[in-house]
Amino acid sequence: MGSEVFILMKSEWALMGIIFLLLFLKVTETIKDNTALFRLTNVLLLLNFVFGFFCNSKGELFSGMYITNDVLVLEKNILNFGTLLISLLSCEWTKTHKNLAEFYILLLSTLLGMFYMLSANHFLMFYLGLELSTIPLAALANFDQDKVKSSEAAVKMALSSAFASGVTLFGISMVYGSMGTLNFAEVPELLNWGPLQIMAFLFLFAGFAFKLSAVPFHLWTADVYEGSPVPVTAYLSVISKGAMVFVLLNVLYNVFRGYEGIWFQVLFITIIVTIIVGNLFALRQENIKRFLAFSSIAQVGYILLGICSGNAGGAAATLYFIIVYIFSNLGAFTVVALVSAKTGKENINDYRGFYASNPALGWVMALSLFSLAGVPPTAGFFGKMFLVTAGASTGSYILVSIAALNMVVSLYYYLRVVKAMFVEKSDAPIEKLSFGMAPKVAMAICVIGIVTIGFAGCLLEYITNLFQ
Amino acid sequence: MMTNLTLLILVPLLAAVAVAFCRNGEQAKWTAFIGSLCQLLLSGAMAFAYFAERKAGNTAQMLFTERHSWFSSLNIEYYVGVDGISVAMILLTAFVVFTGVLISWNVQTLSREFFFLLMLLGAGAYGFFISLDLFTLFFFLEVAVIPKFLLIAIWGSGKKEYSAMKLVLMLMAGSALVLIGMLSLYYYSDDGNGNRTFDMLKLAYQNIPLEVQLFAFPLMFTGFGIFTAMFPFHTWAPDGHSSAPTAASMFLAGISMKLGGYGCLRAATYLMPEAAQEYSWIIVLLATIAIIYGSFATLMQKDLKYINAYSSVSHCGFVLLGIGMLTKTAITGAVMQMVSHGVMTALFFGAIGMIYERTHTRQVEQLGGLLKTIPFLSTVYIIAGLCSLGLPGFSGFVAEMTVFMGSWQRPDTFNRICTILACASIVVTAVYILRAIGQAVMGPITNEHYSHLKDATWNERLASAALILAILAIGLAPFWLNNLITPDAQIIMENVARGGLIE
């Protein structure tokens, strides 16, 4: 093994390094000042992100339990990038919290768990990563310790995650029971359409659907998103979801490829109900975090549409969309986080007259929402187009029609927020917000991403080549 | 230089960026003016270059083409080029944007944002008309969604929020239908190397199976049809046009509705000839209903803007009638009608906007005697009206006449009846136009306040003159427009005739 452990697992080592450094600083109480700690951590995260592009290699460790390749490296870079953005956008929120070091330690622990989950080539490794990524999340949801809703969110998160993990574990046990192995590489040859195997697949899929908050396993989402602090909500809706999508892609395409007929049927139903239910509920939300929660449920439907095509184009479209989604969703969350941290307002109606007092923030929010709605020239248009194009390759007109027509419904509720900001007047509008450098950087990155990604055709090209 | 079509997108975009960086509304206004003037000059130069190239014997279907790979894994290209039809539409766009800026000279609230969005709208329209790749076409079709919504919702009047939402959602639904149709074509295409393609010039000769065409054609045609206010999907138009600020109304009726007509022709009919023949009778039927229904609905309107909005539904019915008839002359007429109606309706909405700015009402019964106090604006309104009712000498007559002549070439009873009914609607048009002119413009001054109104300022005069000039240029010398369009209508017809149902 030797040096391989360090080279192949370098992204995990880097994260562990940061975690232990923060832990050391916390224990020794070297840095008491939140601002200094915030700056230090962000620099570390930036270095970590940059480091992700260098010294990458392919290979496997621990007798094939852990693997890494170009696709996984890209996926980890995407997650690193998203985490950095979330860290930047949480700037104003962190100022009011005592236990900033713990926040980052927990946040990075979940990220580490996701990395292990992504690199897993064995169900046990996958499960370990899953648990490592889930348990700290519940603690994070509880980070607004003086708010009852935050605790409520944490309990809901813990219980539903435990249930989802249980279901997943049950599925894994059935895999072992019917095949006698847990290694991803050995499963495809052992698929024999036995009922126990099909049950195993369905249970595993249900576990995934829980984590992705696909309908009908979405019930925890809105409450948890509403109660958690905004940065945690952003993390849940972008990073946690993104990682789960990557793993699902791997499991469906590489492990259960032989059951494509079954998973297409399952996805078919899930996509239709997820898009429709997500949209219908998003229509009537008043709280902006709940609103983003339901809109993100609908987005998952579109992501699954890309996955269900079962070809390299679909996988590439999915990955591409996650990148676009990070920019668009985090752009919106940056504004929500600022407003929430500065004024405590989280209702859509509070955003009335927002443009008049904060024009720049208004445009960032509007652009992000348009991108989420898939309106050109924003990146979201391209992301959605490629997902729908990939979905069309299955030849299912029903799926494509439902996806295309639901874009109209979703445009309605995104426009509601835009209308509140730009058109409606309020007696008590949000005053002009002043904020530091970090959120500005986050917003600038998001806006540049939203506006330019679609015109850089090489990105999709690069991703597609990875999958071929 | 003049043949670089990408400039047509870049100039409005640069103008938009420049407007965004302006310090105040005054600067923004002038920047937008210079930007739109550049667009007008550029389009004019491009049109002359086009004529010169054709005269020199260049018979390629599309001129000035430019193609770059955009998303090569899906074979999506940035592929642009123009034929006579596109040149006509580009000239129209340039005229409407230019005059739209001039007429919005007095926008006070958030004027930077206003001109920024207006420039963005223009960029989308130019991009749409030069696209030869379905994906690029679709991209530019949807670019206009954001500016349209914000322009109506922020600067509009009346029930603006409702209208903006209705308009944007209905047009978005149209785009969704286009998207489904577009993808079904894509998955049956082959660019010759075994790859799928969005290239329209290749898609047109693909021999796409009839059942796919029969599925995709109604989706695409209805999708684009919603943009051009096809019956029964016209309901966004009256509300949207009336609530929008003047420049946005001019753009919506003058250009945005033409995006639909152009799409019906170029993307639906041209790409799916067999289906176009199969469904021809439905299109003709719906167009005839729109023409008659639109003109009778106009009779009931009391608001100047609603009058023009409903009459637009009726006039755009002629565009669809021409396309549905599937003869070379009718298609030429349809394109001429698009250009003519675009210019005419821009002038109409412009005149109404200028009158409204002074009188603060658009209700016909509250107006009266305007000719005595604001003779210039009243004359402009009358000219627009006369053009709308198809008086010879103006563009409306030439275009509608060509549509009728083309329609008459279809000898069967059904098409004959529809043509006669459509012709008959012109009488109704005369009734509502002359009535509106008689009540609002002629007669005694009904309101004391009106006798102190100021007539048009230089910018309003310039805008009106430009549009009237365009109307006369088409009306008195229609041959240049006819020569521009006919060869390309011929190409589309030849492709349609490949289907073999039509002699």
Asked if A398 reaches chain B (Cβ–Cβ under 8 Å), the answer is: no
- Chain B interface disruption, residue of A408, A409, A453, most B CBs within 10 A: A408
The alpha carbon of residue B139 is apart from the nearest alpha carbon of chain A, in Å, by 6
Q: Please indicate whether, in this complex, the C-beta atoms of B73 and A405 are within 8 angstroms of each other.
A: no
Chain B neighbors of A464, CB-CB under 8 A: 73
- Chain B interface disruption, residue of A357, A418, A423, most B CBs within 10 A: A423
State residue A384's pLDDT score: 92
State residue B145's pLDDT score: 82
Does the pLDDT value for residue A122 go beyond 70?
yes
Chain B neighbors of A376, CB-CB under 8 A: 139-140, 142-143, 145
Q: Please indicate whether, in this complex, the C-beta atoms of A370 and B184 are within 8 angstroms of each other.
A: no
d(CA A211, CA A240): 8
Long-range contacts of B454-458 (CB under 8 A, 24+ apart): B454/B358, B454/B374, B455/B373, B455/B374, B455/B375, B455/B376, B455/B377, B456/B354, B456/B374, B456/B376, B456/B377, B456/B380, B457/B105
What angle is formed at CA A325 by the lines to CA A323 and CA A331, rounded to 5 degrees?
110
d(CA B502, CA B412): 12
Asked if A401 reaches chain B (Cβ–Cβ under 8 Å), the answer is: yes
Exposed, middle or buried: residue B25 (CB in 10 Å: 0-12, 13-18, 19+)? middle
**Residues A350, A105 contacting (CB under 8 angstroms):** no
Scanning every residue of chain B, which has its alpha carbon at the shortest distance from the alpha carbon of A380? B139
pLDDT digits (tens, 9 = 90+) for B4-53: 888 889 999 999 999 888 888 888 889 999 999 999 999 999 999 988 88
Average per-residue pLDDT for chain A: 89
The alpha carbon of residue B71 is apart from the nearest alpha carbon of chain A, in Å, by 5
Scanning every residue of chain B, which has its alpha carbon at the shortest distance from the alpha carbon of A396? B184
Tokens of B78: 């940035």
Q: Please indicate whether, in this complex, the C-beta atoms of A377 and B168 are within 8 angstroms of each other.
A: no
How far are the Cα atoms of A3, A98, B387, B398 from residue A139, in angstroms, in the given order?
Answer: 35, 15, 72, 74
Q: Please indicate whether, in this complex, the C-beta atoms of A457 and B215 are within 8 angstroms of each other.
A: no
pLDDT digits (tens, 9 = 90+) for B443-464: 787 777 777 778 878 888 888 8
Q: How confident is the model at residue B173 (pLDDT cuts 50, 70, 90)?
A: very high
Instruction: Name which of A49, A41, A13 is nearest A101 in CA terms.
Output: A41
Positive or negative, the Cα torsion across B290, B295, B296, B299? positive
Look at residue A139 and give its three-state secondary structure: helix
pLDDT digits (tens, 9 = 90+) for A260-310: 888 899 999 999 999 999 999 998 889 999 999 899 999 999 999 999 988
The alpha carbon of residue A298 is apart from the nearest alpha carbon of chain B, in Å, by 17
Q: Rounded to 5 degrees, what are φ and ψ at A357? A: -90, -30
Q: Domain segments of chain B: what residues?
A: 6-494
pLDDT digits (tens, 9 = 90+) for B334-356: 999 999 999 999 998 999 988 88
Chain A neighbors of B180, CB-CB under 8 A: 397, 400-401, 404
Asked if A136 reaches chain B (Cβ–Cβ under 8 Å), the answer is: no
> What's the whole-number mean pLDDT along residues B266-273?
88
State residue B501's pLDDT score: 45
Chain A neighbors of B168, CB-CB under 8 A: 411, 415
Chain A neighbors of B154, CB-CB under 8 A: 422-423
Preceding amide of A429 cis, omega within 30: no
Nearest neighbour of A412 by CB, restricted to B135, B169, B183: B169
Tokens of B157: 């009047």
The A residues from 429 to 448 touching B (CB cutoff 8 Å) are none
Owning domain of residue A76 = 4-467
What DSSP letter does each residue of B173-230 carry, written as one string?
A: HHHHHHHHHHHHHHTT---SSS----BHHHHTTS---HHHHHHHHHHHHHHHHHHTT-
Q: Please indicate whether, in this complex, the C-beta atoms of B73 and A407 are within 8 angstroms of each other.
A: no
Nearest neighbour of B172 by CB, restricted to A411, A419, A461: A411
Chain B neighbors of A401, CB-CB under 8 A: 180
Q: Please indicate whether, in this complex, the C-beta atoms of A422 and B76 are within 8 angstroms of each other.
A: no
Does the pLDDT value for residue A50 go beyond 50?
yes
Percent of chain B past pLDDT 90, that is, above it, reads: 27
Does the pLDDT value for residue B96 go beyond 60?
yes
Q: Which residues of B touch A (CB under 8 A)?
A: 69-74, 76, 135, 139-140, 142-143, 145-146, 149-150, 153-154, 160-161, 164-165, 168-169, 172-173, 176-177, 179-180, 183-184, 186-187, 215
State residue B460's pLDDT score: 86
Q: Which residue has the tokens 């299955």?
A: A394
State residue B369's pLDDT score: 77
State residue B503's pLDDT score: 37
Chain A neighbors of B160, CB-CB under 8 A: 423
Nearest neighbour of B169 by CB, restricted to A375, A376, A411: A411
State residue A1's pLDDT score: 56
Q: Across-strand partners of B76?
A: B71
Name the domain count of chain A. 1
- Chain A interface disruption, residue of B78, B135, B172, most A CBs within 10 A: B172
Provide the CB-side half-sphere exposure for A227 (13 A, CA). Answer: 25
Scanning every residue of chain B, which has its alpha carbon at the shortest distance from the alpha carbon of A370? B146
What DSSP letter does each residue of B125-156 carry, written as one string?
A: HHHHHHB-BHHHHHHHHHHTHHHHHHHHHHH-
Chain B neighbors of A460, CB-CB under 8 A: 71, 73-74
> What's the whole-number mean pLDDT along residues A323-346?
91
> What's the whole-number mean pLDDT along residues A124-137?
92
The alpha carbon of residue A446 is apart from the nearest alpha carbon of chain B, in Å, by 19
Q: How confident is the model at residue B499 (pLDDT cuts 50, 70, 90)?
A: low
Chain B neighbors of A366, CB-CB under 8 A: 146
Q: Please indicate whether, in this complex, the C-beta atoms of A408 and B172 are within 8 angstroms of each other.
A: yes
State residue B371's pLDDT score: 80
pLDDT digits (tens, 9 = 90+) for A236-269: 999 999 999 999 999 999 888 888 888 899 999 9
The alpha carbon of residue A10 is apart from the nearest alpha carbon of chain B, in Å, by 31
Does the pLDDT value for residue A102 go beyond 80?
yes
State residue B2's pLDDT score: 55
State residue A260's pLDDT score: 86
Nearest neighbour of B176 by CB, restricted to A377, A389, A408: A408
pLDDT digits (tens, 9 = 90+) for B212-242: 888 999 999 999 999 998 888 888 888 888 8
pLDDT digits (tens, 9 = 90+) for A10-20: 888 999 999 99
Which DSSP state fits A257?
G
The alpha carbon of residue A352 is apart from the nearest alpha carbon of chain B, in Å, by 13
Average per-residue pLDDT for chain B: 87
Chain B neighbors of A385, CB-CB under 8 A: 135, 179
Nearest neighbour of A401 by CB, restricted to B149, B169, B180: B180
Asked if A393 reaches chain B (Cβ–Cβ under 8 Å), the answer is: yes
Q: Please indicate whether, in this complex, the C-beta atoms of A415 and B168 are within 8 angstroms of each other.
A: yes
Does the pLDDT value for residue B171 go beyond 60?
yes
State residue A106's pLDDT score: 93
State residue B160's pLDDT score: 86
Q: Please indicate whether, in this complex, the C-beta atoms of B165 and A415 are within 8 angstroms of each other.
A: yes
Q: Please indicate whether, in this complex, the C-beta atoms of A461 and B146 are within 8 angstroms of each other.
A: no
Worst-scoring range by mean pLDDT, A427-436, B79-88, B122-131?
A427-436
Asked if A462 reaches chain B (Cβ–Cβ under 8 Å), the answer is: no
Scanning every residue of chain A, which has its alpha carbon at the shortest distance from the alpha carbon of B223? A405
Does the pLDDT value for residue A446 go beyond 80?
yes
d(CA A224, CA A273): 21
